[in-house]
Amino acid sequence: MTRGFALHHLGLVVEDLDRAVGFYTDVLGMSREGRTEWTVIEGAPLGIDADRVELRWAFLGLGPVRLELHEFRDLPVSPGRRRTQDPGLGHVALSVPDMAEAVAALEAAGAEFFSAPNLLTDSPGQEGDQWVYCRDPFGLTIELYQAATPGERARATAAQTERNER
């Protein structure tokens, strides 16, 4: 096992950097940590089959996690949106203090929710927690996650124990 690894950032390719930065800062409360304008670099180090690629990027922060947004110019993209089950980055999970408030804010900003918030009842140590998946306007699947208070967790655990005893 390699020691000393830590998550540095998550990268997301977007079609419109300005719009994406606005969404992630205005709706999700991320901070702006750095940005470039159009830059030309070699494609190979990025795994892109092109001698040169033109891109710009921005770093945003949310607590200890950073999100790096890339916008590429004049490169072909694959048709369709990535599905949750496709290999690769499945989703980014954000801890929220108030699920209803977070859902309302993201819905107002154009996020598409896959369901109503779900309540965990059979996941040890997470009883009473709530979660919901949505797709943001740029195709990223986001999970909103609200941990239960100690009282909510105790009630959910007791209810699950009672169901198991039946």
128: left (phi over 0), alpha (psi -120 to 50) or beta: left
Phi, psi of 80 (to 5 degrees): 80, 165
H, E, C per residue of 73-100: ECCCCCCCCCCCCCCCCCCEEEECCCHH
Provide the pLDDT for residue 26: 96
> What distance separates the 2 farthest-apart alpha carbons in the chain?
66
Paired tokens of 2: 């390699």
Closest CA to 68 of 42, 32, 102, 96: 32
CATH code reported for the domain at 7-75: 3.10.180.10
Q: List C-alpha distances in Å: 32 to 62, 85, 127, 165.
A: 9, 30, 35, 51
**Phi and psi angles of residue 31, each rounded to the nearest 5 degrees, phi first:** -100, 150
Per-residue pLDDT of the chain (166 residues; tens, 9 = 90+): 556 667 778 888 888 999 999 999 999 999 999 888 898 888 877 777 788 888 898 999 988 888 989 888 887 777 666 666 666 677 888 889 999 999 999 999 999 999 999 888 777 788 899 999 898 988 888 888 998 989 888 888 888 778 778 7
- Alpha-carbon distance 148 to 25, whole Å? 26
CATH topology of domain 88-166: 2,3-Dihydroxybiphenyl 1,2-Dioxygenase; domain 1 (3.10.180)
Model pLDDT, residue 158: 83
Domain limits, CATH 3.10.180.10, in the chain:
7-75, 88-166
Residue 77 CB contacts under 8 Å (≥ 6 apart), including other chains = none
